[in-house]
Structure 1
Amino acid sequence: MNEKRRWLRDILTPISRLHYFIWRLSKSKQTIVVNLQIGGRIEIRPQPTTDIMTAYEIFVAEAYEKPLQVPNIYPKFIVDIGANVGHSLIYWANLYPESKLIAFEPHPDHLLMIYKNLHQNSLLNRVLVVGSAVSNRNAKSFLTDNENESAVVDDYKPGTFSIKVRDLFEEIGNETVDLLKIDIEGGEYPIFADQRFEKLDVRMIVMEWHNTDEVPNGLDWSKQRLVSLGYQVTEGKLNYPTAGILWAWK
């Protein structure tokens, strides 16, 4: 069995696999709704979107699977920064059914998919969606239009569009965050470098680090910064040469 068929077997129910293959063969330009083996449903857009790749990383490669050394958690409040099309929200909501979530995502196409996926899973009452990027300041900025690798940039250039950026520290305030997930293509560094992060009550972090021009060794930078903030740190299951997952907890 080739890799594509294997992961489709692992992620989708039998009826949804059949539906998916018919959809692919027809070369339909419509989204498809599929049922997940773990429970829940997601909508997938056709290529050239990266919806299938995102689903693979989360539900098959288990990008956010908790390493054994990380203590068990029972989060009541989860903050998801860089929610993309909402697959991570479905994952967290199924894994922690007692939790409430807030999601930040600036891309308008991704926001539409988030709402569709939340509606498919009857989660609109559990997840607050904020249509903006997050950093360590309030600002107007620009977003590259690059699917799951879209990134915030300071200056306009062809292929970008204007977005709002919210100050994370003002958004969270004194609220206890049981689990903070952050995946924003290098935008994590201004947030973690800000001295105000030391005052946040964040119990556990799962982050995707990225090598950037400003931070060429994102893994080491992230480990050192999180340890300096009093966290224990371990690498997650998913790691690439220029990006990967870290878990941190207090």
Structure 2
Amino acid sequence: MFYVSMFFQYIGQYMKTRLQYRTDLVIEVISDLLFQAVNLVFIIVVFGHTQLLGGWSRDEIVFIYGFFLVPFALFATFFNIWDFNERYIVKGEMDRILTRPIHSLFQIILERMELESLFGVVTGLIIMSYAGSNLGLSMQWYTPLVFIVMVFGGMFVYAGIFIIIASIGFWSDARTSIMPMMYNIGNYGRYPVDIYNPVIRYILTWILPFAFVGVYPAAYFLGRTEWYSYAFLTPFVGIGFFSLAVFIWNQGVKRYRGAGN
């Protein structure tokens, strides 16, 4: 209950801060929507030259993209730690974090959250509804529950990967360019993996499992039975990677020696 209370207190303070600068907030939301629109236009342009891509239709890939946006939006909201190394290790703010009687990762997640990124969830649901309507997809009573489980599984996959990368800073305090590169690799998870080289497909499934954020769980809702075994692995891969990330983080905190000279 203590952590739940702290969570809502952080959200309350965040809202007070953001609402002081409403114009900036609106601009950020609009820029996020434009970025998502550009990616959607790219898919439409590609299918202006072909009817199928690796056996997937335009509406199926649009559906996958819409699904991908939902766990990605949750990740971007609560795990915005792309600048962890520079801000908390190089500049020494980790020292401040460790003086408080609350888990360090929990603090950093709440300090860096961006609630405006939740608009991506709405965008993803709209895109999924549009594509699903064109495909004639139907829902069962358990579909929303499965959807929630798949979404959180995908979010934890993303979170686990980036927490592991952020944890490298505990062993190396140098500025690195790994995080931006990983963001770019993550974009491959919004497309069907069978359009890639087998090596890339293996990496996106078992090493950097971004495919479990988009294509694999979305394949379940598209009725792609050949991918069901991967789809049902999504929550387990998410929990596994996130647990591994927290373990590595805790080991890194033990290794941390402060920013003093």
Structure with a larger share of its residues in helix: 2
Q: TM-score with structure 1 length normalisation? A: 0.28
Structure with a larger share of its residues in strand: 1
Larger Rg: 2
